[in-house]
Structure 1
Amino acid sequence: MTEAESSNRHANKQRNGYTITETSTVEDVFDDTYKEKESKPPRTLVWRNIILMSLLHIAALYGLVLLPSASSLTLAWTVVCYLYSALGVTAGAHRLWSHRSYKASFPLRVFLALANSMAFQNDIFEWARDHRVHHKYSETDADPHNATRGFFFSHVGWLLVRKHPDVIEKGQKLELSDLKADKVVMFQRRHYKLSVVTLCFLVPTLVPWYFWGESLVVAYFIPGLLRYTVVLNATWLVNSAAHMWGNRPYDKTINPRENRMVALSAIGEGYHNYHHTFPFDYAASEFGYRLNITTAFIDLMCYMGLAKDPKKVSDEMIIARMQRTGDGSHKSG
């Protein structure tokens, strides 16, 4: 351990390239005791998901065709729905509920839960559980979207087949009492289907139709289905592209990479080598608001008194880690 790390109150010890800190949770830390089984279960296709995903992407392509006929207000509304639903994943399911990297007030938790339902990527409880499994068993059979199985699998294929038994087994063993104790999380889980129908499909469609006379077809296919599909793929790119392409300035021993294009589309979630090295950091990056709308949003919520206690890695700890395990590609700012 370097002198800089010793002086930092967060750094305690290292395990398999991951930093165990006072602000890390058990779920943050890679489990190097897990061993993959030599025999692999047969891959079982989930035809319902295959058909629905295919239809969704065909509908999104039709939405692209309709773009020239949409009014400027509808296009602006589409952007609003995109950002709001994306925040439900990034600031909500990911940084708040999966990693507990900051604390949110009840009104903010409700706001983010509604946004998460608009994103329609499984309820908060299931999303956070699977994400914790992803960090604890990253790039193994117990990782829900194991990137070593290829781009397609880690991007969308993992949703088109039955989960590997190890994913289910390890997910059942995680400590999830914090999620179960959160009334907002459990309320959303109980009423998830209704909230998705209302927030992901009805609200994006009916608002432009009712308030400025947009056609129902355009409203349904653009702020509804096209927006939903783009948010889905932006999130999936974090699991696929950000685990394959980019540099590794913080830890060259792990697959996750720094990918600016993913950061742009996923409003801040593309600094993935940093995030897997310091998963408890609320900003998921050391570069502030650069391509990171989510961090700006959380800071705004803290300023307004709706959030507090954001966890952050010290500059000394970042430098010490880069010097020890980085690939030498770091560029400041």
Structure 2
Amino acid sequence: MTELTKRLRGTAAAEAPLVEDVFDDTYREKDGPKPPMQIVWRNVILMTLLHFGALYGLYLLPSTSVLTLAWSILCFLISALGVTAGAHRLWSHRSYKASLPLRIFLAIANSMAFQNDIYEWARDHRVHHKYSETDADPHNAVRGFFFAHIGWLLVRKHPDVIEKGQRLELSDLKQDQVVMFQRKHYKPSILLMCFIFPTVVPWYLWGESLWLAYFVPGLLRYALVLNATWLVNSAAHMWGNRPYDQHINPRENKFVAFSAIGEGFHNYHHTFPYDYATSEFGCRLNLTTCFIDMMCRLGLATDCKKVSREQVLARKQRTGDGSHRSG
């Protein structure tokens, strides 16, 4: 086996498997009435203002230069990778290993995405996998599309979400100096990377107006990244087929896979959460997997965990809905 193959096909045996993202079927929701919903009005106001600003950015698009449009797309991809390749596949699931330079880049990209710091994002995501579609799931899709998409950010967390999150083993995150540095300096990092940097570059390098640069590569790009991520929690838990496990809600959704650069193969992901590609189809509709593969070729990533073809076929025959197609 070549060194490159080893990097691309690392196995779970390379280190102890992560158990905090495995569904816990012993959890039972508490009997009796649900706790009252507490609206966080600050978040409601901020999210409303953000989306009005994004709509205005959409209105400004015809006035935007080609260079600024290209810059907006680049900022979208960078910030999306900070979530998909960073907070999700690397830090939440430990599905591959990243060198220090790559971890620093992904942390910076994650600050550009502004979706809570890596530590909090990974903690909540592990809770989501361990208690999926229950009261302990931060964005429980059983509560409806709006709640799973954005509503969960507009209300106080269910007490079970907080309780289960506090009980998780998170020593790997606490021992990662990049994660903890970003957490310590999160507010200035998001101000710089999510708002100032995307705005100043077009203004300084090719004379774009600060007004347009703020609303297009700034607010519009940020809102699009947020909604692409939220679609994984909402649409990908409601619409699509379930070729690997028909007994769970997450689905295969090609639209979400495209918009979230590879995160829409969600039935596969919840069935095999440790697979670095989150799909059996490699780079197909999966820019994040292409990015990780490229990092492996550059020697910046190693030990990518991958489910064997035999495991996939056995699982789809045992629990799938019959819609599986080999790729």
TM score, norm. by length of structure 2? 0.95
Structure 2 residue 51 is the aligned partner of structure 1 residue 68: no
Structure 2 counterpart of 1:317: 311
**Given the alignment, which residue of 20, 28, 39 partners 1:35?**
28
Counterparts of residues 6-21 of structure 1 (less than 5 Å): none
Structure 2 counterpart of 1:92: 86
Structure 2 counterpart of 1:17: none
Alignment gaps of 5+ in structure 2: 1-10
**Given the alignment, which residue of 181, 185, 190 partners 2:179?**
185
Counterparts of residues 51-130 of structure 1 (less than 5 Å): 51-130=45-124
The whole-number CA distance in structure 2 between the counterparts of 1:115 and 1:188 is: 11
Structure 2 residue 201 is the aligned partner of structure 1 residue 207: yes
Q: Which stretches of structure 1, 4 residues or longer, exceed 3 Å deviation after superposition?
A: none
**Given the alignment, which residue of 230, 235, 242 partners 1:241?**
235
**Given the alignment, which residue of 147, 151, 154 partners 2:148?**
154
Q: Which residue identity is paired with 2:30?
A: K
The whole-number CA distance in structure 2 between the counterparts of 1:234 and 1:330 is: 25
Counterparts of residues 216-295 of structure 1 (less than 5 Å): 216-295=210-289
Structure 1 counterpart of 2:301: 307
Cα distance per residue 1:250-293 (max 9 Å; x no partner): 00000000000000000000000000000000000000111100
The whole-number CA distance in structure 2 between the counterparts of 1:93 and 1:132 is: 11
Q: Which residue identity is paired with 2:167?
A: K
Secondary structure of 2:312 counterpart: helix
The whole-number CA distance in structure 2 between the counterparts of 1:252 and 1:196 is: 39
Secondary structure of 2:20 counterpart: helix
The whole-number CA distance in structure 2 between the counterparts of 1:42 and 1:191 is: 34
The whole-number CA distance in structure 1 between the counterparts of 2:102 and 2:191 is: 22
The whole-number CA distance in structure 2 between the counterparts of 1:30 and 1:120 is: 27
Superposition deviation, residue 23 in structure 1? 6.5
The whole-number CA distance in structure 2 between the counterparts of 1:312 and 1:23 is: 15
Alignment gaps of 5+ in structure 1: 1-9, 12-21
The whole-number CA distance in structure 1 between the counterparts of 2:284 and 2:48 is: 34
Superposition deviation, residue 26 in structure 1? 1.3
Secondary structure of 1:234 counterpart: helix
The whole-number CA distance in structure 2 between the counterparts of 1:242 and 1:256 is: 6
Instruction: Quote the sequence identity (%).
Output: 78
The whole-number CA distance in structure 2 between the counterparts of 1:94 and 1:25 is: 13
Superposition deviation, residue 24 in structure 1? 4.0
The whole-number CA distance in structure 2 between the counterparts of 1:23 and 1:279 is: 14
Q: Which residue identity is paired with 1:281?
A: D
Contact preservation (8 Å) 1:23, 1:280: no
Structure 2 residue 197 is the aligned partner of structure 1 residue 165: no
Superposition deviation, residue 85 in structure 1? 0.2
Secondary structure of 1:27 counterpart: coil
The whole-number CA distance in structure 1 between the counterparts of 2:325 and 2:314 is: 15
Superposition deviation, residue 33 in structure 1? 1.2
- Please provide the CA RMSD for this pair: 1.1
The whole-number CA distance in structure 1 between the counterparts of 2:311 and 2:27 is: 28
The whole-number CA distance in structure 2 between the counterparts of 1:27 and 1:265 is: 27
**Given the alignment, which residue of 287, 291, 298 partners 2:292?**
298
The whole-number CA distance in structure 2 between the counterparts of 1:24 and 1:242 is: 25
Contact preservation (8 Å) 1:23, 1:311: no
Superposition deviation, residue 29 in structure 1? 1.1
Secondary structure of 2:132 counterpart: coil
Contact preservation (8 Å) 1:243, 1:256: yes
